[in-house]
Every structure is written in C-alpha cells, then in structure tokens.
Structure 1
Amino acid sequence: MQKFRRALIGSTLALMATGAWAQAAYPSRPITLVNPYAVGGPADLLGRALAKELGDVLGQSIIVENKAGGGASIGTAYVAKAASDGYTLLLGTAAAHTVTPLATKVPYDGIADFEFVGMVANVPNVLTVHPSVSAQNLKEFIALAKSQPGRLSYASAGMGSSPHIGAEMFKHAVGVDVVHVPYKGAAPAATDLVAGTAQVGFLNVSAVLPFIKANRLRALAYGGSKRSPDLPDVPTFAEAGIPRLETGSWYSLAVPAKTPAAVVDKLATALQAVQAKPEFKKLLAAQNAESLSQVKAQATDYVRADGKRLAELVRATAMKLQD
C-alpha cells in the first residue's frame, strides 16, 4: 500500500509538473489571428502588421485568417467558439463586439464570451466624394445632399461598422438623406468608390488615402480630433461646422472567454511590447492610427463604455443597423 501511495504521489507530481511546463511554454505552436473583415482593408493591414510583430515578441508564427461578413459576426463567432487556449485570437472592433450583437441575433455575447487582451489602435474615418460630385467642401456637399434627398449613396465597410455609424451620425447631425451601401470591408468599398459606383465614401482614412493623394477621390472632412498630418488641407468635422463629431474605428485584441489568466497576461505583455516598438509606431502613423494603451480590465471597460454610447446613439437616432 505504501509503495502504491508513493507511486500515486509521484504520478500526480509529474502531471502537475507537465501542466506547469505546458503553461510556461506557451506558445508552443503557431497561433491564428482572425480578422472579421475582407483582405486588403485597414483592418487587414493592421492585423497583418500586428501578427508579425506579436509573433516576433512571442517567438512563434501568427497566421492571419480573414473571415468576413455578417457585420463582423462570422469571424467573431468563430473565435467565441474556439478552444480557450490562446491559439485563436480576434482582431475586434465595435461592430464585432457591440453594434452587431445590439442590432441582430448572433451566436455569441460580444463581451461575456471574450477575454480582452488589450486595445490596439483607433483609425479616424474620412468623408470623401468621387470627382464627379460637384461639391468642393463639406458645406457644398450638405447643400447638394439636401437638394437631392435619397439620390446620393455612400459606401461603408459594412452594416454596423464604425464608418456606417459615423456616417449615420453625420446624417443625423446635418439632416441629409444619403443612402447606405454596405460592403464586406473597406477594400471593396474603396474600389467601387473610385470607380464611381458609389458617389460618397465614409471609410477609414488608411483605406482611401492613396486615392485622395492621387486625386481620384476628394476628401471633405476628417473624423479625428485634429487634422491628419497626411491631409493637412482637409478640415476636421468640427472645423467644417459640425462640433463634437469625431468618428473612427477602434481595434482590440481578444481571446475566447476562460482562456487561462497566465496566457492572457503573456499576450497583454507582448502587445505592450509591440506597441512600444518604433517600427510598429511608424506603421500606425502611416495609417493615421492613434495607439491605444488599455489592457485587460481597462480594455473591457473601454469596450463596455463604447457599447453603451452606441446603444444610446442608436435609440436617439432610430438608426438602422441591418437590412
């Protein structure tokens, strides 16, 4: 009996040691970062840069998978149901975590089904028009839209996306009727905008900046708190006469709920290291992105607060978030 007890204790200690080693070894295999938007858009650019730098810090490769559609719910639902082991990450947005769950039935809870590693960045939106639109500035655009209610259409990155929310905020603030045309991401929206299929765009600045600089699109107003250094001649909405209208897309890093605290901590520490890297700061600056520093509980609070603000906005404006 004594020999059996010794053997049992030895086996238990070995299992405990193996578990501790496995946890300490994370990550021991490639990680997947799910982007719930289309290839080529601002989220894709940011996600791939984040994956590379985060992988370098963690010493493991991170593969980006684009699972677009459903107002970001398809990719988000995939991560919510994934194993809680730190090997499936989500590049989250307001649409993924708050707006789409608010607007329609989705198979996940946008906050309770996730552990938030941290916030990554915020990218302002910009209002643009195709050169065929006669308006040269925001005042002229508002006058044009009011003279042709329902005749103009604007492209967004999708139903419930931050460009959609920002555009509806703008419409409510100035009292114009411009028809929403949602896409499965900013890249296809920008393509149709440049082609003139949609006359008006409300997208992340990084998605349309090259076209603005090439005079293929005309920028009328910028959604940041101050002017973009890449578009110094484009006024903010406040400067153009719409006070307190700031609009942009925030991005977060999240994992499925019940992921071990030690794994979340390691990811949060790695994220902070990435955000401190000069090359990552340079990439954010190239996208006109503002770095966000909240991690774990602070990030969760940030997402909750933004969700509450958006819910109040939807109620106040009777905003349509789905077809």
Structure 2
Amino acid sequence: MAISSVASFARRALLLSAAVAALPFAHAQGSWPVRPVTLVHPYAAGGPADTMARALGQQLSKRLNQSVIVEAKPGGAATIGTGFVARAKPDGYTLLISTSAGHVVTPLMQRIPYDGIGDFSFIAVVANQPNVLVVHPAAGIADLQGLITYARQHPGALNYASAGTGGATHLGAEAFAQAAQIRITHIPYAGAAPALKDLLGGQVQLGMLNLAAVKPFIDEGRIKPLAYGGARRTPLLPQVPTMAELGYGNTATATWYTLAAPKGTPPEVVETIRKAFESVSTDPEWQKVLAAQGAEQLQMSPAETTAFVQKDKAAMRQLLGTLGMLADK
C-alpha cells in the first residue's frame, strides 16, 4: 500500500512538473513574434532607405528576440513596396519603413490600389533626412547662382536625378526650379543608389539626394554640393549654405521615414513594436547611424506619427497643386 501510494505520488508529481514546464513554452507560442519579421522598404538596395532599414532591422531584432529580414521592393515611385505591405496580412510579421512618396505624394499624383494613410497603422517616425542639391564637376557650375544663370540661358538642358517621382528629392528640385524661374529636366530613378550611379558617371548633371547618399562622393570631390535642405547648416558639410540662406527656404525638403504595419494589426502587437522602437531610439549605436546620415530624430507616438503624415499630405497637396502635378480624381 505504501509502495503504491509512493508510486502514485511520484506519477502526480511528474505530471505536475511536466505541466509547469510546458507553461512558458505555451505562453511563448501564443505571444508575438514567434517567427521572423519582414521589414520592407520601397527603394533600391544600397541607398539611404536600405541603409536605414538594415540598421533598424538589426536593432529591432535584438529587442524582439527574432530575426528581422529586410526586403527592398523598389519601383512605381515607392508604391510597389508600400502597396505590398498594405495588402499583407495584418499580423505584425510584415512591416514597412517608407516615405512621403509612398504614403502621400504618389497617391496624390496618380490612382493607386491602396490608401497611403488609411491602410496603415503608423508606429513611429524613424528619421528625418534633409536633402542636398549637388552637381557633377564637369558641368562647370560653381554655386547655386551659377546654376540659375546657366539654366536660364539653356532652358531644359540640365538634367537632374531624383530617388523617384513624387519623393522629396523630386519635389524639392521642382519647387526650387519654380522659385528660381528655371527649367531643368527630371530623370527619376528607383532609389538614390541608381540615381547616384548615373550622376557620378555624368549621364545627369544635377541631383537632389539625401545627405547620406552623397556625402562620401562629396568628400572625394566627385560631386559638388550647392545647397543643403535642412533648417540650419549640417556639421557634416559646414561650408555648404542652406537653401534658406540662399533665398530659397520655402523649397527646402527632407525625406522622412516612418515605421508602419498594415491596418488591422492587433493593438498589442503595435504596442510591442512601439516599445521596441522607443528602446532603439535611445541606443547610442542607433544615434550614431542617424548622425552618420545627417538625419534628425523625431520622438512621436503612433497617434502623433499619423497626424504628422496627415499634415504632410496637406502640405504636399498644396505644393503639387502649385506645380500642376495633382491627379484628376
């Protein structure tokens, strides 16, 4: 009897121990994330968006204890990658780091199969990157006034590269051209990397591109900076005047990056990502990434981020209307 009781007790203890051991596993299986997360950006590999996404992916991976796979889906003026995430399953496993082009500008310029704001749950503003107007040395242009003088004498002869139609690199150049009363020809690319390749090769003479993309080649003397699009001079290029200093402050534009999930993603998942990014934003290594790219950090909640994008849409609607680029809808 005693032996039977001991055996019975042992069996119950073993079962209880197994049940307790299974609890953490069961909890982990039901939590997010339990498999790799994909972070999509809508530009070509090798450009500033790719660099930003990969740095962010590494930081998020540490905090989520899961792999974060970065995928470049360029094309369609940032609508291919942005639209891909809009249609993705809203479970948190497909995220987007995108810009005004995919969320705001292209949807204002043409019909697209997604709502640039309404189809997303915005989480944070990742960074704000001012652009730089640069010129190939072979053009023989020394400064912004020299560019204006040449362009007025040779309307349409100068080509400029942008990271894509509808992005800040495109609209900033168009706004400047209008303000300066000159005509320059837009050559759009699928991202900063291919735009820069042709600019360095001399196939195009001008570029309005992110500071991060052009800085190494400015340092090498392969391209010349004419004006910086930030509110004040950057310590990375202290000798370069701002557009505002040169009298074109209203044409200065920057490329902002937001982190978003498809609309309908569970609030608890969005909150988990928000907390992870909040931790990333204070990490010294992440701050070094931003500093190296001349990017500003904007601390915003999901609600504030959504309002930020909506405000940008209102501003871009006005700018596109002025430029005659709004779609007829």
After TM superposition, the score normalised by the length of structure 1 is: 0.91
Q: Aligned-pair RMSD on alpha carbons?
A: 1.6
| Equivalent AA in structure 1 for residue 117 of structure 2 | I
Which one of 209, 229, 237 corresponds to residue 243 of structure 2? Answer: 237
Which residue of the partner structure matches residue 37 of structure 1? Answer: 43
| Equivalent AA in structure 1 for residue 68 of structure 2 | I
Which residue of the partner structure matches residue 66 of structure 2? Answer: 60
- The answer to whether residue 202 in structure 2 is matched with residue 190 in structure 1 is no
- The answer to whether residue 173 in structure 2 is matched with residue 167 in structure 1 is yes
Which one of 216, 219, 224 corresponds to residue 218 of structure 1? Answer: 224
Q: What SS does the aligned partner of 1:273 have?
A: helix
Which one of 267, 281, 297 corresponds to residue 261 of structure 1? Answer: 267
Identity fraction in percent: 49
Report deviation, 1:179.
Answer: 0.2
Which residue of the partner structure matches residue 290 of structure 1? Answer: 296
Structure of greater Rg: 2
In the comparison of the two structures, how many residue pairs are matched? Answer: 304
Query: Structure 1: which 4+ aligned runs deviate by more than 3 Å?
Result: 20-24
Deviation by residue 1:12-68 (Cα, 9 ceiling, x = unmatched) = xxxxx99x9479621111000001000000000000000000111111110001110
- The answer to whether residue 138 in structure 2 is matched with residue 132 in structure 1 is yes
- Correspondences of 1:21-32 after superposition (within 5 Å): 21=27, 25-32=31-38
Does 31-40 or 21-30 show the bigger shift? Answer: 21-30
Residues 109 and 325, structure 2, Cα contact 8 Å, conserved in 1: no
Report deviation, 1:246.
Answer: 2.2
CA distance in 1, matches of 2:27, 2:152: 66
Which one of 158, 162, 165 corresponds to residue 156 of structure 1? Answer: 162
Residues 223 and 236, structure 1, Cα contact 8 Å, conserved in 2: yes
Which residue of the partner structure matches residue 93 of structure 2? Answer: 87
- The answer to whether residue 315 in structure 2 is matched with residue 309 in structure 1 is yes
Does 213-222 or 167-176 show the bigger shift? Answer: 167-176
Report deviation, 1:105.
Answer: 1.3
Deviation by residue 1:58-81 (Cα, 9 ceiling, x = unmatched) = 111100011100011111111011
Which one of 205, 208, 211 corresponds to residue 205 of structure 1? Answer: 211
Residues 91 and 253, structure 1, Cα contact 8 Å, conserved in 2: yes
Report deviation, 1:319.
Answer: 3.4
Could you list the runs of 5+ residues in structure 1 that have no partner in the other structure?
1-16
Counterparts in 2 of 1:266 and 1:187: CA distance versus 1, 3 Å = same
After TM superposition, the score normalised by the length of structure 2 is: 0.90
